[in-house]
């Protein structure tokens, strides 16, 4: 299995697990909490069919990546992403972040600029700034995040059970757009995550990404469900679309947080249309037409 070394903790290497499929213009998919790169399974076939090279990876502490007790902040997450991109020698790549992953997209461009980044996509993402403060009245009260931290610390397994109810809006969508088995599969992935990471990531959700978004100067797409109970669209997606010059906002009607799964039939065409058919795919198609002629 492919790994990239992103650091050390005492005698142990910190390694990120990644998958690298297809050919063409690269697309890096960055997952949300508390899942892994495998959570993009409904987007992978669509992007591969459009001729893209698709890279997924597991954030430190999650999935098949190392589980250190350090580095759970967005500066480090962005550094981890940069090391992966450098390791793979990516050029002209798109960054697509879901939920927490949107923070990586913002902080990566805020920290490293948009060199070699072709496009940016924020899906149900945490930017621009989720915490309510004097200069951020649209944010969420600090007590909400404190309550989540207490619940994770007390019994993360029980927390995950409740979390996924709101993640997928199971009271409305169970048996229609999400099965009990799919929810259970998500719980299984979450349960295998690092206990340290499960707790330490919660306060990162309300980091301030406003300055990072000001540096985003590539074509940008924002996708958000209007029934998102985890990251309310009014505090996030709508504001991100306003803060990034020229960004396009796509609102998924009745979409929960995990629109990538429940509303993949609506999300995928928007994603593919925005990212475009890969140059390699277009060239191959043109060649086939010439050959047929």
Q: Where are the domains of the chain?
A: 3-292
pLDDT tens-digit profile of 116-155?
Answer: 999 999 999 999 999 999 999 999 999 999 999 999 999 9
Under 8 Å between Cβ of 207 and 238: no
- Residue 89 pLDDT: 98
Task: Look up 143 and say whether it is catalytic.
Answer: no
Tokens of 3: 């790994």
- Selected catalytic residue, list 99, 124, 186, 198: 99
- Selected catalytic residue, list 31, 52, 224, 257: 257
CA distance 264 to 261: 5
- Residues above pLDDT 90, as percent of the chain: 94
Under 8 Å between Cβ of 139 and 235: yes
Task: Look up 99 and say whether it is catalytic.
Answer: yes
Measuring CA to CA, how many Å separate 164 from each of 62, 90, 180, 186, 291? 16, 34, 11, 8, 51
pTM of the model: 0.94
The CATH superfamily assigned to 3-292 is Alpha/Beta hydrolase fold, catalytic domain (3.40.50.1820)
Task: Look up 155 and say whether it is catalytic.
Answer: no
- Residue 183 pLDDT: 98
């Amino acid at each position: 299995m492919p790994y990239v070394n992103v650091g050390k903790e005492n005698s142990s290497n910190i390694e990120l697990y990644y998958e690298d499929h297809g050919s063409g213009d690269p697309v890096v998919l960055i997952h949300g909490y508390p899942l892994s790169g495998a959570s993009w399974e409904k987007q992978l076939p669509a992007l591969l069919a459009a001729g893209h090279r698709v890279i997924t990876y597991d954030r430190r502490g999650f999935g098949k990546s190392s589980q250190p007790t350090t580095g759970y902040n967005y500066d480090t997450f962005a550094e981890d992403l940069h090391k992966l991109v450098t390791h793979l020698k990516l050029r002209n790549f798109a960054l697509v972040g879901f939920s927490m992953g949107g923070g990586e997209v913002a902080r990566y461009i805020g920290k490293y600029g948009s060199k070699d980044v072709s496009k940016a996509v924020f899906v149900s993402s945490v930017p621009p700034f989720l915490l309510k403060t004097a200069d951020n009245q649209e944010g969420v009260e600090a007590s909400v995040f404190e309550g989540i931290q207490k619940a994770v610390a007390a019994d993360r397994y029980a927390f995950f059970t409740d979390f996924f109810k709101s993640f997928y809006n199971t009271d409305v969508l169970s048996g229609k757009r999400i099965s009990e088995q799919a929810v259970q599969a998500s719980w299984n992935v979450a349960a295998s995550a690092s206990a340290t990471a499960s707790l330490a990531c919660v306060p990162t959700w309300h980091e301030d990404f406003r300055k990072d978004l000001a540096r985003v100067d590539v074509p940008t797409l924002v996708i958000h469900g209007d029934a998102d109970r985890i990251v309310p669209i009014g505090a996030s997606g709508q504001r991100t679309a306003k803060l990034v010059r020229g960004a396009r906002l796509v609102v998924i009607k009745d979409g929960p947080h995990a629109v990538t799964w429940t509303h993949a039939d609506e999300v995928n065409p928007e994603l593919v249309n925005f990212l475009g058919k890969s140059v390699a795919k277009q060239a191959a198609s043109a060649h086939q037409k010439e050959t047929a002629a």
